[in-house]
Amino acid sequence: MRQFFSALLTIGLLAVAVPAAAQRPRAEQRDTAKRTTPTPVPTDARPPKGMCRIWVDGVPAAQQPAATDCPTAVKNRPANARVIFGDEYADSSKAKPATRNKLPADVKGFTGMKTPPPPLLPKRPPE
């Protein structure tokens, strides 16, 4: 009887320990995940604005899937791929620094006001 309970206890402890050990990531998996960097997407292979493209890592740019709408790309993305959004890329070499910070003429701001602010209405006297 004593052997039966010790065997049952041993099986119970193993049943609890095996799933806990399986949840720990292996050192090799962690190291390879840190070493792999996604391949950069060439500028001419980026999707147009408003569209998305599935980019499969390790596949040449000429063999990548065509651009599609974003919900379809997100839904059909395989595990070894990522979704490239067409409007997330801005070429900073084409932007002019002087016009980047300039506000449109019809924007009202706190600086450079030409008209005084409207007068505040007086408070009602207490009753």
Q: What is the value of pTM for the model shown?
A: 0.43
List, for residues 95-109, the tens digit of each pLDDT value: 555 555 566 666 656
CA-to-CA distance for 127 and 118, rounded, in angstroms? 27
List, for residues 28-71, the tens digit of each pLDDT value: 555 555 556 677 888 888 888 889 999 998 888 889 999 999 99
| CA nearest to 44, candidates 59, 64, 58 | 64
Average pLDDT over residues 106-123: 67
CA-to-CA distance for 36 and 57, rounded, in angstroms? 10
- Pair of tokens at residue 110: 């706190």
